[in-house]
Amino acid sequence: MLISADLPFVKNYVKLLNEAIKSQAPGKQLTTIQCYWLAFVVLGVLVTNTLCWSRFARFSNDNYTPAAICWMFKKAKIAWELLLYASVQKLLETYGIKSGILVIDDTDSERSKNTSQIAKVHKIRDKKRAGFFNGQNIVFLLLVTDKLTIPVGFEFYEPDPALHEWQKQDEMLRKKGVTKKYRPIKPQRNVAYPSKITLGIQLVKEFVEQFGDIKIKAVIADTAYGSKDFFENASELTKNAQVISQMKKNQLINVNGKFIRVDEFFKNYSGKTEVLTLRYDEKIVNYVSAKFKVQAHEKRLRIVAIKYENEDEYRYIIANDPMWLGKDIIQAYACRWLVEVFIQDWKSYEGWEQMAMQRGLDGAEHGIIISLLSDHALHFHQEQLNLYDNKGQAATVGSLREKVMMESLTNFIEKIITSDNPKGAFDNFSSKISELFQLRSSTKHLRFNNTDRENIFH
């Protein structure tokens, strides 16, 4: 069968998970059947790039039914809350990781317009096209180290309906020129709908509590997390680690006792140009750095105005610890880009975007856990471990997944050759192979059904 829990790296990975769970919570370790099922679905994600029980069943040569696979997912008494923790723990041990940078970002996943049973679905503004779509928003926490970038936590975000409605009304009245005293008062946020900042703080707190021996050098997030509350909490939780974010160009800073916009102040400075190494690449960077009191934070922060080659306008980075040099802040903040790479890999290769339609909040959370475990499992592949041992650059998710697919196919061919009826086994399995390599429609080539439109080419 194409999906088999027999591949050595998957079996070993699940064994390590179970050891970590047992050491953390004796009595909650996985049973033999649960270990086999978990290895099967983790490999299923890597082979099919979905979280679809029906596809898993087909690729197992119908040795398992979709109902049986789904039953284990929904009903088996698996310590889901410990799986991701156990996986992170084993990664840290295996790769000898002692320190790193925490990076926070969120991403949207589009869902059906008519869905009613998928958790946390709400209307989201489409950043690429005009309009909105129904989708889920997930806040991720990554640990960036000099060896690996590891997803270590996540939370679903859902906007407060009452607050969202107030924002719509307030924006509409602002456009009509209605003064603030005549507009509705902003309601208090419902605790059932925590903000992204609250979720980010919660993720940092959970990581620090679970992995207190890992030294956090910095916490990094984009503009959405650049509030005073986030900076203070993240710094306190990580024992005064640097906190870096981006500030809006219209935020106010105190210059000689007067508050002015940050872009107005820095537009008069040309800055200095240096070649800095950012994420292993050399970049020409123009920047100017200074310490100012930021009105929204009520304290002095290090502000770095930065623009890359061929950029005309500065962007503004703020750092909680003003003692860091400007170029060190720039190099640290560049690590934020790695979360974008992770999200792209996760959506492209690790099953979540393709048929990830698990019902309810538990279903959604457990689905993401399985998807993230498939990401972690690749770091236990022997070739990835060999690269680490030889001090080489880690392999990409895409290339590792191709390697796993080939190993799964080789395993499948071996079962055919060694079976009692190789011809019959091949006939049973041949349709499964074709599903791995489906043709996709190209938008590059024109194909008109309308005869009138075809006439333009004649």
225 occurs within a structural domain: yes
Q: Does a structural domain hold residue 13?
A: yes
Residue 383's pLDDT is what? 93
- Specify the length of the chain in residues: 458
- Output the pTM of the full model: 0.88
Query: What's 145's DSSP letter?
Result: -
| CATH number of the domain where residue 228 is located | 3.90.350.10
Closest CA relative to residue 200, chosen from 140, 124, 286, 276: 140
167 part of a folded domain:
no
Q: What is the pLDDT of residue 351?
A: 82
Residue 1 has pLDDT above 60, yes or no: no
Which pLDDT score is estimated for 138? 94
pLDDT of residue 193: 93
Q: Does 448 score more than 70 pLDDT?
A: no
Provide the pLDDT confidence category of residue 4 given band limits of 50, 70 and 90: low
Question: Same structural domain for residues 335 and 400?
Answer: no
My answer on whether 23 and 151 are in the same domain is no
Domain boundary among 316, 343, 370: 343
In a domain, 299, yes or no: yes
- Residue 222: band (very low, low, confident or very high) from pLDDT cuts 50, 70, 90: very high
Which tens digit of pLDDT belongs to each residue from 287-304?
Answer: 999 999 999 999 999 999
pLDDT at 433 over 70: no
Domain contains 175: no
Same domain, 254 and 390: no
In a domain, 178, yes or no: no
Q: Is the dihedral of CA 157, 162, 164, 167 positive or negative?
A: negative
pLDDT for res 435? 61
Region 359-387: mean pLDDT is 92
Kindly state whether residues 313 and 407 are assigned to the same domain: no
Answer with the residue of higher pLDDT: 15 or 113.
15
Is residue 3 situated within a structural domain? Answer: no
Residues 324, 265 share a domain: yes
Q: Is residue 244 located within the same domain as residue 103?
A: yes
Q: Check whether 140 has a pLDDT greater than 60.
A: yes
In whole numbers, what is the pLDDT of the chain averaged over residues?
88
Residue 440 has pLDDT above 70, yes or no: no
The whole-number pLDDT of residue 412 equals 76
Q: Are residues 129 and 217 in the same domain?
A: yes
Domain assignment present for 419: yes
- My answer on whether 387 and 428 are in the same domain is yes
The predicted structure's pLDDT at residue 374: 94
Same domain, 147 and 117: yes
What pLDDT was estimated at residue 442? 61
DSSP 8-state assignment for residue 380: G
Each residue's pLDDT tens digit, 232-272: 999 999 999 999 999 999 999 999 999 999 999 998 888 88
| Cα gap 314→266, rounded to integer Å | 8
Tally of structural domains, the chain: 2
Answer with the one of 343, 378, 396 that is the final residue of a domain.
Answer: 343
pLDDT beyond 90 at 452 = no
> What is the domain extent for residue 396?
8-78+360-436
Q: Which residues contact 391 (CB under 8 A, 6 or more apart)?
A: none
Residues 368 and 250 in one domain: no
Asked which of 315, 343, 371 is the last residue of a domain, the reply is: 343
Q: At residue 37, does pLDDT exceed 60?
A: yes
Burial 327-357 (b: 16+ CB within 10 A, else e): bbbbbbbbbbebbeebbebbeebbbbbbebe
Supply the pLDDT for residue 458.
55
Are residues 291 and 149 part of one domain? Answer: yes
* 337 and 304 inside one domain: yes
